[in-house]
Structure 1
Amino acid sequence: MDPLTIYVDADACPVKDEVYRVAGRHGVHVVVVANAVLNLPREPWIERVVVSGNLDAADDWIAERAGPRSIVVTADVPLASRCVKAGATVLAPNGKGFTDASIGMALATRDLMQSLREAGAVTGGPKPFSARDRSAFLGALDRAVMRLRRNASGS
């Protein structure tokens, strides 16, 4: 069986430290994927992957590896969609999960907002990241790790 792995779409991820905290507590391998070199804790269970090339290189790298034993941390809705289809557990930095049931609406909303911005509308952007979002993410990631571990042990 493949080991449980957390993939972090890291370039603009505000919850990397929270990922390290949860992964360290549970002994889970973390792969931090970015377009540039990021400073990471020096831990044997944290792996750095620096991709080069187009803007979607990190997304492509993660999507090619995500599967049922993966947790993907991303705010990128198209990447989330690809990973959900691959069977991965996908969490946004605010702790909200992307699922088969929610990804279609998330993609439609993203596309609508992009169309509005391209047409010149001022959409205001996302709300600021808060301590409540950080706390919700910590809880969601912890629950996701425990659920995948439980499912792997057959109970």
Structure 2
Amino acid sequence: MTEPDAKAPEIWIDGDACPVREEVFRVAGRLGLVVHVVSNGARGIRLPEVPWIRRVIVAEGADAADDWIAERIRGQDLCITADIPLASRCLARGARALSPNGRVWTTDNIGSALAGREVARHLREIGATTRGPAPMAAADKSRFLSALETEVQAAIRGVSNPAPVLWRPGLDI
């Protein structure tokens, strides 16, 4: 691995339940990128002991890791998260966001994802049974790796992410 460049994109992993950490580490190591693995209390996550992978343990709390990432991510960076509100917050800062199943979050699709999440929350509140996320399949990891490579290469080339989404916590959809 080469020494990280301060202007290079960094990768931020919402780390407590991320099933694609190893894939991110391989790509980041090959390209010389810093990876931040942010979690709240999951000290049991085993990470390679290399200087470019940075473990960040934040205080316990529902959105502590999300808040930490959203406050620090930069426009050229990429966040790996299944958390739709965190993805939206990253997009609002001009950064990129990618789900572990390979879905690239954009300003074009994040609004409907937030709305769908809100509908599902409401249905759960009134007692309806909703399905959770589908289990990770081999095709998901393949799609993730392809999307990760595409997003990282675009960030390295300095290709701007589309206009930031104008969503803030508490905004009604």
- The reply to whether TM is greater than 0.5 is yes
Residue number in structure 2 paired with 1:105: 112
SS in structure 2 opposite 1:100?
coil
Q: Does 1:79 find its partner at 2:83?
A: no
Give 1:124's match in structure 2, choosing from 131, 137, 156.
131
Do structure 1's residue 90 and structure 2's residue 90 form an aligned pair?
A: no
- Aligned-pair distance for 1:67? 2.1
Instruction: Tell me which of 4, 7, 13 is aligned to 2:9.
Output: 4
TM-superposed deviation, 1:9: 0.1
**2:39 paired residue number:** 34
Q: Unpaired runs of 5+ in structure 2?
A: 1-5, 160-173
Distance 1:66 1:100 in 2: 17
What whole-Å deviation, never above 9, does each CA across 1:21-56 have from its counterpart, x for those lacking one? 110111110000001212101111100000013221
The 2-side partners of 1:67 and 1:104 are apart by: 21
Unaligned runs of 5+ in 1: none
Name the residue aligned to 2:158. Answer: 151
TM score, norm. by length of structure 1: 0.94
Could you tell me how far apart the structure 1 residues matched to 2:131 and 2:70 are? 29
- Provide the residue aligned with 2:170 in structure 1: none
Distance 2:154 2:103 in 1: 16
Q: Return the alpha-carbon distance in structure 1 between the equivalents of residues 75 and 18 of structure 2.
A: 22
Q: 2:167 is matched with which residue?
A: none
Counterpart-to-counterpart distance in 2, 1:148 and 1:124:
34
Alignment-mate amino acid for residue 26 of structure 2: R
Secondary structure of the 1:49 match is strand
Separation in 1 of the partners of 2:60 and 2:102? 29
Number of matched pairs: 152
- Structure 2 CA distance, aligned partners of 1:17 and 1:53? 24
More helix by share: 1
Percent identity among equivalent residues?
51
SS in 2 for 1:8: strand
